[in-house]
Amino acid sequence: MDADDTVFDGILEKVGNDGRFQRRFNLIFNMGAIIFASMSYMSIILALNKPPHNCHVPGMERFNISDAEMWKNLTLPREEDNKGVLSYSKCQMYNVTEAHLQVHYSEWNFQDSDIINCAYGYDYDRTYYDRTPITEHDWICDKGFRETNIFVYNRFGELIGTFIFGQLGDTLGRRPVFFFSVLIITAGRLISMFTASIYVVFCMAAVLGSLTSNSIFQAPLIIAMEVSKSERRGYISMMQCIGWTTGLCILPMVFWATRDWFWALMFTTIPIFLFIFIPQYLIESPRWLATRGHYKRSMGELRKIANVNGIRQLPFDERSLEKMLSHRKVETVYGMASLFSGWRMAKNTIFCVMCWMVVSLTYFTVMLLSSRMDGNPFLNFLWQSAIELPAYKIGQYLSDSLGRRLSNAMAFLVSTIICIPIYMIARYSEYETLTIALTVAIKFCISINFFAVNLQSIEIYPTCLRNTGLAFAAIMSNLIGILGPYVVYLGTEYDVRYPFVVIGGLSAVAAVCALLLPETLHQALPETIEQAQQFGKHHRFWSLPKQPKKCSPDNAECEMAERKRLNGVH
């Protein structure tokens, strides 16, 4: 093997870079584990769904009134809802006293001065939920901010956890970070189940459960990318996307079947913990170990891959491995500051992060809105989730044909355009079905963005900074994602159109940022910071990615020229 920047790819060819080991690893960790991780991560959205409610006004039985709608008309004032429609107040009632109950209701005559806040508790629509923390503890009206704040605390937990565990992935290793992630997300969700009556503790548990919500997905994905051939990157990312979508489709069905947030959280949390008991199937990335100078451990992991792939004898041992890779200096990495070492690398980081921020805010906002729209919240959530699967498949096709850059920009642009008709019809109940369908279309586009920008982020950073780069993008996206629950709050409490104004404007900005990123399709992964600093320097803005040339084994000049092209050197 030549001692160059693609030497590790050559080593992986000898141990098998697309064999039984890679298939087994992806099936267990980039599909199986992701199914349960996504269920555990997103379960809090359905657990904190706010069912329709009104003030409970006692006395209906005194008049033998069996029609609840008639009693509401007598005892509840009207107010405009978020669609501008006059409807029953959710948090106020007429002051029905004992004196009123002594006379027939036909003699009642309430004025605006008789309107008071709910004095006798609340009546909840239990069509879909028997029990949630909100119905148990009345987190509505004057306590309505609690639900929104919990989602904010979740995003804050993601931000802190990503900062910590993202960098640990490049210092401590991908494998231990995955196991830490499983333990922490399980502990957080289980504690939440028993502490809803103590709001402060419930919030702390929500933060704990979200600390590793990014690293639990990133760790196995990066390991798989680093032990597979470059042509399989899109496929590996697709595997994780299928796992994610499958989990999201199962999640609302669990809630619908149990109708109880406590048992739903139990059934969606425990399965991910079981992956703690199969450590023998999860390796550390040998590529990462080699960049850290741990050649003995790297050789051990390479032997594991070779054995599973049916290769019993390797043409190199630990000493020859070190000799092949010792020309690489173990680079000094200054954490996230290294992402801005050089103008080109800083520019790529900024534009990549901008795309991530818009994807994160839009994705989370749309998912929150889906379970808060009219109709069955579980089916709304299911449609929003199921649309991701064809979106990821189309995203993979576009990313592997048009390239990551153009696919990303086009999806953002289409999202912007879709927001225009939604703004025009969202307040009209007769167009409710169309509004839901167009919202699903936004989710379709943002899922393509998620696939493309996730793949591009992995490919744009060098091995020594790959986990850190993804972590930084996740931190910044979580930072703006904190605003997501408030965007939803504006839509549910004030005007249903506001979230789509925000989504449309940000998607337009992200489309420009996506176009300014370099194309990574058919490009060799940068191995060093120096390579990352030059990545995309000679790429043409209006060009489409080209398939690499196939050189004959004896044509060294052709092979060298193609390697230079893949590394962006002219």
Label residue 547 exposed, middle or buried (CB < 10 Å: 0-12, 13-18, 19+).
exposed
Higher pLDDT, 395 or 340: 395
CATH number at residue 423: 1.20.1250.20
Total domains in the chain come to 2
Domain assignment present for residue 509? The answer is yes
Q: What is the pLDDT of residue 358?
A: 92
User: Residue 552: which pLDDT band, with cuts at 50, 70 and 90?
Assistant: low
User: Residue 3: which pLDDT band, with cuts at 50, 70 and 90?
Assistant: very low
Rounded to an integer, the average pLDDT of 335-339 is 73
Q: What is the pLDDT of residue 328?
A: 54
Share of the chain above pLDDT 70, in %: 89
Say whether pLDDT at 201 is over 90: yes
Rounded to an integer, the average pLDDT of 216-233 is 86
Are the beta carbons of 284 and 48 closer than 8 angstroms?
no
Higher pLDDT, 475 or 527: 475
Q: Which of 320-329, 363-372, 394-403, 501-510 has the lowest mean pLDDT?
A: 320-329
DSSP conformation class of 422 = H
Domain assignment present for residue 561? The answer is yes
Say whether pLDDT at 343 is over 50: yes
Q: What is the pLDDT of residue 316?
A: 75
Domain finish residue from 124, 153, 177: 124
Domain assignment present for residue 311? The answer is no
Are the beta carbons of 456 and 535 closer than 8 angstroms?
no
User: Residue 37: which pLDDT band, with cuts at 50, 70 and 90?
Assistant: very high
Domain assignment present for residue 435? The answer is yes
Q: What is the pLDDT of residue 62?
A: 82
Q: What is the pLDDT of residue 314?
A: 79
Domain assignment present for residue 526? The answer is yes
Question: d(Cα 451, Cα 546) in Å, to the nearest integer?
Answer: 20
pLDDT tens digits, 281-329: 999 988 888 878 888 888 888 889 999 988 888 777 777 777 776 655 5
Q: What is the pLDDT of residue 551?
A: 58
Domain finish residue from 124, 146, 171: 124
Distances (CA, A) of 43 to 36, 242, 388, 449, 454: 10, 18, 17, 23, 23
DSSP string of 471-540?
Answer: HHHHHHHHHHHTTHHHHHHHHHHT-TTHHHHHHHHHHHHHHHHHHTSPP-TTPPPP-SHHHHHHTTTT--
Name the amino acid, one letter, at 317: D
**What burial letters (b/e) apply to 115-143, b meaning 16+ CB within 10 Å?**
eeebeeebbbeeebbebbbbbeebbbbee
Q: What is the pLDDT of residue 1?
A: 33
Domain assignment present for residue 240? The answer is no
pLDDT tens digits, 368-391: 887 777 778 898 888 888 888 899
Say whether pLDDT at 557 is over 60: no
User: Residue 251: which pLDDT band, with cuts at 50, 70 and 90?
Assistant: very high
DSSP conformation class of 76 = -
Domain assignment present for residue 262? The answer is no
Q: What is the pLDDT of residue 369?
A: 80
Q: Are strands 122-124 and 115-117 parallel, antiparallel or unpaired?
A: unpaired
The chain-wide mean pLDDT, for the chain, equals 83
Q: Which long-range contacts (CB under 8 A, 24 or more apart) does 432-440 make?
A: 432/373, 432/374, 432/375, 435/373, 436/373, 436/375, 436/380, 436/383, 439/366, 439/369, 439/370, 439/373, 439/384, 440/383, 440/384, 440/387
**What is the domain extent for residue 521?**
338-569
pLDDT tens digits, 66-96: 788 888 988 999 988 777 778 899 999 999 8
Q: What is the pLDDT of residue 182?
A: 94
User: Residue 569: which pLDDT band, with cuts at 50, 70 and 90?
Assistant: very low
Higher pLDDT, 532 or 113: 113
pLDDT tens digits, 159-196: 888 778 877 887 888 899 999 999 999 999 999 999 99
Residue carrying the six token digits 């009134």: 65
Domain assignment present for residue 428? The answer is yes
pLDDT tens digits, 442-461: 999 999 998 888 888 877 87
Share of the chain above pLDDT 90, in %: 28
Tally of CB atoms within 10 A around 353: 23
Domain finish residue from 124, 152, 176: 124
